[in-house]
């Protein structure tokens, strides 16, 4: 597999939806477009073939600017997995997950890993103002940005998209982690694919990045960004029967459980009524796989209740996801002012550096 690099948009490309790009492109394609400010913005879309918000945003942005106007700054676009996009899949069965194949990950020697090394080197030589990788997720989650370094310019860049920011350093081999060595970088999670609101929000963010001179490195106020990191994964006990709403199962979760995603829950919030079943209906494990259930939940009052302030994400009502994967992740707030890189403040605790399986975000 060879990287295709172009200095123009192939004619008709902007007319193609994500699932039709394979008519124009053979594989990953890096396109450089010249703008008034020569320092480019680097944008990656469709690393996961079924997550089309990034391509929709680029299409609409270029249709409004590029066809009738000049771009305010140069733009380098990597269009990722067009084969998986053809089938509206995250990846094909015989493909690696593209967003695990960037430099620093386990798949550096794979064909796609070598190609992404080439992309990283090329982009690095262009000294971009910032790098943006655009994704979608499932379930009812708000839009948020994820960063890999706690530095003012990374926080600032993320804050242009959302005040909710997630810090992660695992999994390895992600685009934003690799590019964090090159320039301020972020991963955008734009809600579910196909939502116009996600495209609108991404376009607004890209336009901001296209028009700013550079990303300020001045410190942020504590309330400008709410920074969180994953601390635990929560599973339902294998032997517990569960349902949603007023049902006679061992665990009767709240009907609209997923509205709690990215809500900071106080101690004493009930997630479910208990009608029997295993004594420990949920199992929470930390990033080292240690059982930390009692740190977050109590079950002794006929309910599943929180015992400390916690923020769930990826809560889903999809039984199959809950059974095969997990119920949710738990996140805790990081007071970023105390953890800015390169200052004399306390270094990050180990647990934050290894936000490892099982608590890794599904970027």
Q: Which segment (48-56, 151-159, 215-223, 226-234) binds Zn ion by CB under 5 A?
A: 48-56
Site string for Zn ion, 194-223 (x = CB under 5 A): ------------------------------
Q: 51 or 153: whose CB is closer to Zn ion?
A: 51
Out of 48, 59, 149, 235, the only residue in the binding site for Zn ion (CB under 5 A) is 48
Q: Which segment (17-25, 134-142, 154-162, 331-339) binds Zn ion by CB under 5 A?
A: 134-142
Q: Which segment (45-53, 55-63, 193-201, 262-270) binds Zn ion by CB under 5 A?
A: 45-53
- Separation of alpha carbons 137 and 131, rounded Å: 20
Q: 53 or 169: whose CB is closer to Zn ion?
A: 53
Site size toward Zn ion, by CB under 5 A: 3
Q: Which segment (42-50, 215-223, 309-317, 324-332) binds Zn ion by CB under 5 A?
A: 42-50
Residues whose CB falls within 8 Å of the CB of residue 338, separated by 6 or more in sequence, listed in order = 345, 346
Q: Which segment (10-18, 22-30, 49-57, 148-156) binds Zn ion by CB under 5 A?
A: 49-57
- Separation of alpha carbons 59 and 206, rounded Å: 12
Residue 135 in contact with Zn ion, rule: CB under 5 A = yes
> What residues from 167 to 186 belong to the interface with Zn ion (CB under 5 A)?
none
- Buried b / exposed e over 302-338, threshold 16 CB at 10 Å, is ebbbbeeebbbbbbbbeeeebeeebbbbbbbebebee
Q: In terms of residues, how long is the chain?
A: 363
Q: 51 or 305: whose CB is closer to Zn ion?
A: 51
Site string for Zn ion, 89-108 (x = CB under 5 A): --------------------
Q: Min. distance of Cβ 190 from Zn ion in angstroms?
A: 10
| E strand map for 237-299 | 242-244, 251-253, 270-274, 282-286, 297-298
Q: Min. distance of Cβ 135 from Zn ion in angstroms?
A: 3
CB 29 within 8 A of CB 80: no
| E strand map for the chain | 4-6, 29-33, 37-45, 73-79, 130-135, 144-147, 164-167, 185-189, 226-236, 242-244, 251-253, 270-274, 282-286, 297-298, 303-306, 311-313, 328-334
Q: 113 or 171: whose CB is closer to Zn ion?
A: 171
Q: Min. distance of Cβ 288 from Zn ion in angstroms?
A: 25
- Separation of alpha carbons 33 and 40, rounded Å: 9
Q: 16 or 48: whose CB is closer to Zn ion?
A: 48
Q: Which segment (129-137, 217-225, 292-300, 315-323) binds Zn ion by CB under 5 A?
A: 129-137
Q: Which residues pair with 234 in a beta bridge?
A: 284, 328
Chain residue at closest Cβ approach to Zn ion = 135
Q: Min. distance of Cβ 268 from Zn ion in angstroms?
A: 35
**C-alpha distance from residue 270 to each of 15, 148, 216 (Å):** 49, 33, 42
What residues make contact with Zn ion under the rule CB under 5 A? 48, 51, 135
């Amino acid at each position: 597999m060879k990287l295709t690099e172009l200095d123009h948009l192939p004619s008709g490309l902007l007319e193609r939806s994500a699932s039709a790009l394979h008519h124009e492109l053979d594989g990953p394609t890096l396109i450089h477009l010249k703008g008034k400010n020569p320092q480019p913005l680097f944008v990656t879309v469709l690393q996961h073939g079924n997550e089309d918000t990034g391509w929709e945003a680029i299409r609409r942005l270029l249709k409004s600017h590029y066809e009738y106007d000049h771009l305010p700054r140069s733009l380098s676009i990597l269009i990722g997995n067009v084969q998986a996009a053809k089938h509206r899949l995250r990846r094909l069965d015989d493909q690696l997950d593209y967003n695990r194949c960037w430099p620093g990950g386990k798949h550096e020697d794979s064909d796609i890993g070598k190609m992404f090394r080439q992309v990283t080197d090329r982009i690095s030589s262009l000294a971009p103002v910032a790098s943006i990788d655009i994704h979608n997720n499932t379930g009812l989650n708000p839009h948020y940005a994820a960063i890999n370094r706690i530095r003012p310019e990374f926080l600032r860049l993320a804050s242009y998209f959302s005040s909710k920011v997630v810090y992660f350093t695992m999994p390895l081999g992600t685009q934003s982690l690799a590019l964090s060595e090159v320039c301020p970088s972020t991963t955008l999670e734009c809600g579910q694919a196909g939502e116009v609101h996600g495209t609108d929000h991404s376009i607004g963010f890209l336009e901001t990045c296209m028009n700013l001179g550079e990303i300020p490195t001045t410190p942020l106020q504590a309330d400008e960004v709410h920074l969180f990191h994953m601390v635990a994964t929560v599973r339902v006990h294998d032997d517990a029967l569960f349902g949603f709403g007023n049902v006679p199962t061992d665990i009767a979760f709240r009907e609209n459980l997923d509205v709690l995603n990215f809500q900071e829950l106080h101690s004493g919030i009930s997630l479910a009524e208990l009608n029997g079943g295993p004594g420990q209906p949920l199992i929470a494990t930390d990033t080292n796989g240690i059982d930390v259930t009692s740190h977050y939940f109590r079950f002794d009052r006929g309910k599943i209740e929180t015992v400390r302030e916690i923020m769930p994400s990826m809560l889903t009502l999809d039984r199959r996801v809950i059974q095969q994967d997990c119920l949710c992740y738990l996140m805790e707030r990081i007071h970023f002012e105390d953890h800015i890189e390169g200052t004399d403040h306390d270094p990050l605790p180990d647990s934050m550096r290894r936000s490892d399986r099982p608590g890794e975000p599904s970027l």
